[in-house]
Amino acid sequence: MPSTFQPRERVALAPFCTLGVGGPAHFFFEARDESGVVEALAWAQRRGVAFRVLGGGSNLVVADEGVEALVVRVAARGVEVREDGGAVEVTAAAGEVWDDLVRRAVEQGWAGLECLSGIPGLVGATPIQNVGAYGQDVSETVTSVRALDTTTSRVVTLTTADCGFTYRDSIFKSGEPDRYVVLAVTYRLRPGGAPAVRYAEVAASLERDGVAAPTLVQVREAVIAIRRSKSMVIEDGDPNRRSCGSFFTNPVVSAAHADQVAARAGDAAMPRWPLPGGAVKLAAGWLIERAGFRRGHRAGAVGLSTRHALAIVAYDGACARDIWAFARRLREAVRARFGITLVPEPVFWAPPA
């Protein structure tokens, strides 16, 4: 590694996270290409320093004490496009802004990402979380992931099968967390393909607008409008903007368990979505509200979004400990009321004991 590699020290991480909380990184480096990530890993390993990767910060909560690690912000950019058997394969560097890529695909008429419009963050995060919304998941289009294997210090290419995608999960998140650093992702899209209108809320929005045969652009606009109505698009001036979006995943349970939850709620019309294999997905936000936490509920400097019960919002004066405590209250209330333990979506760095 060149001796010129020199990370910065005691860099505040809060400005890099959408929640705007958290302490500093002991060491910090912004990698603008793959070689920078490789150099950073080698530097950390030689010195016995923990190694962490930061993307767009839209799915991350950093402890108030900060992290004793080298934090590498992946900022590599670049998009390559190639045609393949009537499809288009788009390879984007991990540091590309996700919604910019979605916008480009939609404008080019490439179907496959349109319902994932308006989601904050960078390309590198999409396979980790198996990002999805309004009936689409990135696992439907991801064909390969280029990554740095921190156990061997080699750059490898993982296939879709290698990624172990499941609902909001992958090998990168829970299978072998921290092993791989995503460097680039390849998506296979359909030129001239029809948009995915699988979600009732999107279909209803299009119907209200009198759109019977929607284009990709119209579906993207509908999705962004819905997200904006829930403060799920990060915009200046929105009092709910300091959040990680959905703080918990929607729980997946058996059909029998879903019936028990509906009985406890006393509501046979409880929202639920059947899944392959007989499982049922429930609405975490609905459970939170029925457990006694309405939209806009405040607990000091944190609370629920006024527009979405699944988003925890940080206000002026908030710290990471406030967010941990509030999230625990929500989980405990839902567990006590319905016997379901909600699973957080964000990554937690150095949470307090």
Handedness of CA 286, 290, 294, 300 (dihedral sign): negative
Residue 65 appears among annotated catalytic residues: no
Which among 21, 141, 14, 19 has a CA at the least distance from the CA of 71? 14
Residue 337 appears among annotated catalytic residues: no
φ/ψ of residue 14, rounded to 5: -55, -40
Q: Which two tokens stand for residue 208?
A: 């209200």
Catalytic site residue from 73, 103, 146, 168:
168
Catalytic site residue from 144, 231, 246, 305:
246
Catalytic site residue from 34, 96, 221, 345:
345
Residue 80 appears among annotated catalytic residues: no
What gap in Å lies between CA 342 and CA 65, rounded to an integer? Answer: 26
Q: Which two tokens stand for residue 200?
A: 């009732």
Strand order in the sheet with 67-74: 8-12, 24-31, 67-74, 50-54
What gap in Å lies between CA 238 and CA 32, rounded to an integer? Answer: 31
The strand pairing partners of 62, in sequence order, are 349
3-state secondary structure of 276: helix
Q: Which two tokens stand for residue 320?
A: 């990471």
Report the catalytic residues: 168, 246, 345
